[in-house]
């Protein structure tokens, strides 16, 4: 019914539909700017995003042909401004009998148009096309992962990078590690930036984590400093050794400014206190943990198809959602993660600061 009403709407109605979809899905995007002293920009950012999607939906309604209109509305899911891909109509198919794929989405759009255009009684047979959009995948993993302790923390972003609260966060990390050891876990997974510092430059912390890793494997988020610049990094400690997974895909306007260099330098200088964009790794990294392979992903990149190259069985994802809480952002992120877990049949272990993490398993067919 939702797709029916969407396709049936005229261009002016579609403008408001696009406007309010973007407003309600993404009102939280500007929240992070208050931590740069730019909180006054938040409502303008929200309004700009809502207007942009309003115009996109309006353009879809310019054409009188319902076939063209439906095709354009279907194509909205492919529009990823600055690489941001969270407005995806496939999310609406999760936890339904339908497969969360572009083919299923296309069939639903197409059958809805036929229902609207065909005049004779047999238009009521067009939902037969829905049979080809049903999900019959029976997702069964032949491999089980390790006994993992997933840490969820609730440290306010205003405290996260405040040096006064560093010792408190370090103490939290080692308390959780000790709990994991006492519980006999194989692995403990921490959120993004669980240690808010350049960890590779802190010899005492590195030595302490290496020592604890003789009893439990540790994957933890922190920063990494090199001669070229800074990385947002996942550290893996095991048996006194350490390996690194640098982030591959950065958050637009959060970790990088996706504009020409002269504009990037200007924005970084006047809005981000002279900071430079983070550096990136060229390819995703797989950690080998007690003989098991798991893909590392940090926050936003866990919702990008590039990180699922090779269809990894397991992914260790870490996020810091305190930038945007309280809001619906953690719920939307979880739903996007569920989509990609299902598409690539990957089980995601998600550790979060600012919201509750957990295990995100691929969706199997309701018919099994």
What is the phi-psi region of residue 355: left when phi exceeds 0, alpha when psi lies from -120 to 50, beta otherwise? beta
Own/partner long-range contacts of 288-296 (Cβ < 8 Å, ≥24 apart): 289/146, 289/186, 289/187, 289/217, 289/219, 289/236, 289/238, 290/146, 290/186, 290/187, 290/217, 290/238, 292/143, 292/145, 292/146, 294/145, 294/349, 295/346, 296/219, 296/234, 296/236, 296/245
Asked if residue 326 has a cis previous peptide bond (ω within 30° of 0), the answer is yes
What is the phi-psi region of residue 37: left when phi exceeds 0, alpha when psi lies from -120 to 50, beta otherwise? left
The neighbour count for residue 285, using CB atoms within 10 Å, is 19
Question: 273: which residues sit within 8 A by CB, 6+ positions away?
Answer: 36
| Chain center to CA of 15 | 27
Edge-to-edge strand list for the sheet holding 314-320: 286-289, 292-298, 314-320, 347-353, 358-360
Whether residue 247 lies in the annotated active site? yes
Whether residue 304 lies in the annotated active site? no
Token pair for 11: 């261009």
SS (H, E, C) 46-82: HHHHHHHHHHHHHHHHCCCCHHHHHHHHHHHHHCCHH
Q: Which of 176, 192, 255, 301 is catalytic?
A: 192
Q: Which of 60, 160, 238, 299 is catalytic?
A: 299
Whether residue 11 lies in the annotated active site? no
What number of residues does the chain have? 368
d(CA 353, CA 222): 13
Q: Which of 149, 247, 304, 338 is catalytic?
A: 247
Supply the residues annotated as catalytic: 192, 247, 299
């Amino acid at each position: 019914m939702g797709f029916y009403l969407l396709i049936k709407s005229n261009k002016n109605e579609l403008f408001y539909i696009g406007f309010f979809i973007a407003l309600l899905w993404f009102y939280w995007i500007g929240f992070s700017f208050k931590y740069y002293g730019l909180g006054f920009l938040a409502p303008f950012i929200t309004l700009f995003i809502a207007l942009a999607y309003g115009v996109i939906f309006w353009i879809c309604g310019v054409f009188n042909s319902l076939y063209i209109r439906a095709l354009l509305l279907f194509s909205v899911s492919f529009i990823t401004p600055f690489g941001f891909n969270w407005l995806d109509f496939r999310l609406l198919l999760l936890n339904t009998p339908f497969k969360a794929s572009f083919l299923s989405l296309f069939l639903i759009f197409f059958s809805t148009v036929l229902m609207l255009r065909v005049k004779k009684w047999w238009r009521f047979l067009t939902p037969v096309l829905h049979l080809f959009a049903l999900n019959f995948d029976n997702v069964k993993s032949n491999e089980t992962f390790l006994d993992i302790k997933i840490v969820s923390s609730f440290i306010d972003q205003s405290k996260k990078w405040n040096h006064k609260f560093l010792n408190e966060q370090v103490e939290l990390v080692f308390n959780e590690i000790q709990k994991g050891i006492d519980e006999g876990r194989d692995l403990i997974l921490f959120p993004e930036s669980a240690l808010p510092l350049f960890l590779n430059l802190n010899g005492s912390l590195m030595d302490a984590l290496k020592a604890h890793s003789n009893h439990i494997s540790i994957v933890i988020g922190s920063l990494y400093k090199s001669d070229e610049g800074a990385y947002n990094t996942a550290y893996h400690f095991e048996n006194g050794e350490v390996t690194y997974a640098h982030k591959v895909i950065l958050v637009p306007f959060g970790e990088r400014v996706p504009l020409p260099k002269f504009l990037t330098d200007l924005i970084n200088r006047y809005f981000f206190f002279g900071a430079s964009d983070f550096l990136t790794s060229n390819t995703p990294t797989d950690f080998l943990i007690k003989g098991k392979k798991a893909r590392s992903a940090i926050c936003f990149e866990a919702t990008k198809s590039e990180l699922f190259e090779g269809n990894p069985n397991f992914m260790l994802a870490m996020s810091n959602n305190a930038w945007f809480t309280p809001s619906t952002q953690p719920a939307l992120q979880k739903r996007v993660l569920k989509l990609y877990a299902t598409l690539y049949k990957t089980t995601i272990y998600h550790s979060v600061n600012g919201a509750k993490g957990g295990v995100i398993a691929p969706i199997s067919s309701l018919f099994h």
